[in-house]
Amino acid sequence: MKKYKILNLDCPNCAQSLQKELQKQPFIQDVMIDFANGAIFLDTQDLERTKQTIKEVEKNIEILEWREASKEPSTKVELFFLFSLLGCFALAFILTSPLSQILLYGIYLIAGIPVFKGAYKRLKNKEFFDENFLMFFATIAAFFIGADFEAVAVMLFYRIGEFFENLAVRKSRKNIQSLIDLSPSYAWKKQSDGTLLKVFPWELQIDDIVIIKAGEKIPSDGVIIKGESELEEKMLNGESMPRFCHPDDEVFGGSINLLGVLEVKITKTYDQSGISQIITLIEQASTQKSQSEKRITSFAKIYTPCVFALSFLIAILPPLLGYGTWDEWIYRALVVLMVSCPCALVLSTPLGYFGGIGGASKKGILIKGANFLEALAQLKMIAFDKTGTLTNGEFEVDQIISLSSYSKEEILGFAMCAEHLSSHPIAKSLQKQAQNLSITHTPISHDQIAGKGMDAQCCGNRILVGNKALLDTFGIQYPQIHTQETLVYVALGSECIGYITLRDAPKPNAKACIQKLHGMGIETMILSGDQQANVQKVAQELGISKAYGGLLPQDKLTLFQSHKQEKSAFVGDGINDAPVLSSADVGISMGLGGSDLSKETSDVILTNDDLDKLIIAINIAQKTRAITAQNIALALGIKGVFIILGVFGVAGMWEAVFGDVGVSLLALANASRILR
C-alpha cells in the first residue's frame, strides 16, 4: 500500500465512516486510515477515481503525496471568528427584544453550520445519533421549551470546544510527523566528476556512492567501499558500544559516523532501508489505536434512542389514555428531553481524565491522552527495554584489576593518560571514575586506532589502552578473561599491567520499582537489543523472570505482542523501541535520555527518566478512574431523578437547565479533586 497525506480530516468518526465507504469500492484493494498521523494507506487501481469517491463522502478532504509540502490551516481567522460570536452573544443579553432574539438566532445558525452539515450527512448515510445529531436535537428541544439563551450557548460553546480539539489533533500530528531529526535529513552524493551533490535520502538509488563525514548519519543501508570508522548504532539496536567498520562491512541507515570520512555504496533505497522500515512499523502500529470510536458516539447509540423513545411515549401516551392535555404532556416530554441531554455524561469522563492528566503533569509525567491514562489504571503487564531504561545507559567502571605491582589508582592514572582527550563512550566512563583523582598529564602523542583503542606517549611512557586486538597488534601477552562485561586492557611498554571492567549498571531505584509493580499484580519482562548474557544478569539483579536479548526492532515487536495481555505497556528510550511503543496499549518513554522518535511515538513521557514516576502515574490513573466512575454515577443518578420529576410535572424548564448544566458543574468540581 502507498502512503498519502490526508488533509482536513479532524474527526475520528468521519475517518471510520470514510474508511468503511472506501472498502466497499471494487477498484480499491485495500485501505487503512491512520487518523493519529493524518495519513491514508491505499492500494488502488484508480487513484483519481478514489479521490473523487473521497470528495463525495467528505467534500473538504484532500489527498496529497506524503512528502508533498502542504500549508497548515490558519487558526487565527477561526479563533477571531469564534470570539466575535462570543461578543455578539454577550451583546444579546444587553439588547431588548426583538433585536436580541434576531441576534441569538443569527449566532445559533452561524455557529451551528458544521453541526447541521454533520447531522445531515449522517442522516443521509443512515447513521443516526452521533454527536452532531445529539447537539442538533438538544438545542432544538431547548428552543421549544423557551430556553433560547441556553440553546445558543450550548451550540456556541460546543463549536469552540470542537475548535480546540481539532487544534490539539493537528499539533499531535505535527509532533508525530517530525521525523526530520530522527531519520537522515540529507546525503552527499558523489557524482561522476568527483563533486558532491546534496540530496534528500529518498532521492538516492541503488549503487549510488555517498560520502558520510564525521558526526553525520548514514542516509540509507549500504556497504563501505572506502574508509574506516566507528558507528554509533545505539538508537537502532540498543547497544552502548560503537561498532568498528571497515571496507566491505554492511552499514545501516540512521547510524551515526563517529570518526573519519566514509565512502558508502547504497544497496537499498531509502524506502527499503532499516530506518524507513522502523518508521513504517510505527505508522502501522499507531493505526491500531486510531480505529477506536469516541466513547460518546458508542454510548449515544444506546442512550439517545432510548431517551427519544421515552420522550415520545411521554408526549403521546397520557393524552391518548385521557390523562391531561396534549400541550401539557408535550411540554413535560420536552423537559425530559432537555434533562436527558447527554452533555453532562459527555463531560463526566473527559473532565475526570483531564484532571488526572493535569495532576500527573505537576509530578513530571506527561500523558498524551485520556485513553492512555485509563489504560494505565488497567495494566496487567509491563515490558522494559534495558539500556537507558532500567540501566543508566552508559558505561561505568565496575572493577580495576592489577596484574603487576601497580595499584588500582596507578592503573587508572595510566589509562587516563591515554584517554583524557577522547570523547569515546569508554573514555568518558574512565574520565568519570578518575574525576576525583589528582592526575596531571605530559602528553607527547595520542593515536586512536579505530576499533582497537589508544596508543599514547605520555608522562615518559608508551601506554596502550584498548581491547585484545590492540594488544595482539603489538605482540603483548595478556590473560584470557571470561566475562560478558566490557574489558579494557592497560599496557605499559610491552607489559600488560592490568585491566578494567565496565558495565551498564541498573538505575538506583529500578529494583524497588519492579518490586512495587509486582506488588500491584503487574507482570514484568525485559526486551533488549543487548547481548542475552548482559540482559539476563540485569534481570536477575532486579527480580525479573522473563528477559530476552539480541532483539531487532521487529523481534521486540513480535515478542511483545506474543506476551501481550488485556492491557500491556512498554517502557523504552531508543529509536529501536518506537515500533513497540506504538503497538503497546501504553507506550512510555524517557524524557531526558529518550530519543526524539521514542518521545513522539510514546503515550506517556517520564520527563526526568525517574522510574518512581511510573508508579506515581499508575496510582494517579487508578484514582482518576475511580473519580470518573463517580462522575458517571452522579450524572446518571441526578438525571434519573429529574426525569422522574419532569414526568410528574414537578420539574420545569429551570429545573431541567439545572439537571443539565448543574450536573456538569458538579462533575467538574469532583474532577478537580484529582489535581489536589
> How far is residue 360's CA from residue 383's CA, in Å, rounded to a whole number?
22
- Integer angstrom CA distances of residue 421 from 215, 364, 371, 579: 17, 36, 49, 37
Residue 549, classed as helix, strand or coil, is coil
**Selecting from 3.40.50.300, 1.10.3720.10, 3.10.150.10, 3.30.70.100, what CATH number does the domain 2-65 have?**
3.30.70.100
- Contact call for residues 591 and 582 (beta carbons, < 8 A): no
421 grid coordinates: 582527550
Residue 660 has pLDDT above 70, yes or no: no
Q: What is the pLDDT of residue 160?
A: 74
503 grid coordinates: 558495565
Q: What is the DSSP string of 221-273?
A: -EEEEE--EEEE-HHHH--SSPEEE-TT-EE-TT-EE-SS-EEEEE-S-GGGS
Pinpoint the residues of the chain covered by CATH 2.70.150.10: 187-272
Bigger pLDDT: 293 vs 437: 437
**Class of the CATH-defined domain 396-503:** alpha beta
Start-to-end CA distance of the chain, whole Å, equals 48
- Integer angstrom CA distances of residue 393 from 502, 517, 590, 614: 12, 22, 12, 18
Q: Is residue 385 annotated as part of the catalytic site, yes or no?
A: yes
Q: For residue range 144-169, what is the model confidence (pLDDT) as tens digits?
A: 767 677 678 767 876 776 676 566 45
Domain 187-272 falls in which CATH fold?
2.70.150
- Contact call for residues 385 and 577 (beta carbons, < 8 A): yes
Residue listed under C-alpha cell 615518559: 460
Sequence-ordered list of residues with C-beta below 8 angstroms from that of 141, at least 6 positions apart, any chain: 334, 337, 338, 341
Pinpoint the residues of the chain covered by CATH 3.40.1110.10: 396-503
Three-class SS of 188-235: EEECCCCCEEEECHHHCCCCCEEEECCCCECCCCEEEEECCEEEECHH
> How far is residue 68's CA from residue 310's CA, in Å, rounded to a whole number?
52
> Of 185, 210, 196, 183, whose CA–CA distance to 267 is shortest?
210
Q: What percent of the chain has pLDDT over 90?
A: 16
Over residues 347-371, the mean pLDDT reads 70
- Integer angstrom CA distances of residue 262 from 190, 207, 450, 666: 12, 15, 13, 66
Top-ranked range on mean pLDDT: pick from 194-203, 387-396, 419-428: 194-203
Catalytic residue among 34, 130, 208, 385: 385
Pinpoint the residues of the chain covered by CATH 3.40.50.1000: 364-392+507-623
Residue listed under C-alpha cell 439537571: 659
Pinpoint the residues of the chain covered by CATH 3.30.70.100: 2-65
- Contact call for residues 144 and 334 (beta carbons, < 8 A): yes
Q: For residue range 455-473, what is the model confidence (pLDDT) as tens digits?
A: 988 888 899 999 888 999 9
DSSP classification of residue 593? S
Q: For residue range 469-510, what is the model confidence (pLDDT) as tens digits?
A: 899 999 999 988 877 678 899 999 889 999 999 888 888 899
Helix, strand and coil in the chain, % to nearest 5: 50, 20, 30
Over residues 641-668, the mean pLDDT reads 71
Bigger pLDDT: 149 vs 285: 149
> Pairing mode, if any, of strands 229-232 and 546-548?
unpaired
- Whole-prediction pTM: 0.55
**Selecting from 3.40.50.2300, 3.40.50.1000, 1.20.272.10, 3.40.50.300, what CATH number does the domain 364-392+507-623 have?**
3.40.50.1000
Q: For residue range 29-84, what is the model confidence (pLDDT) as tens digits?
A: 888 776 655 778 788 888 888 888 888 777 778 787 766 544 455 677 888 888 89
Phi/psi region, residue 315 (left: phi>0; alpha: psi -120 to 50; beta: rest), is: alpha
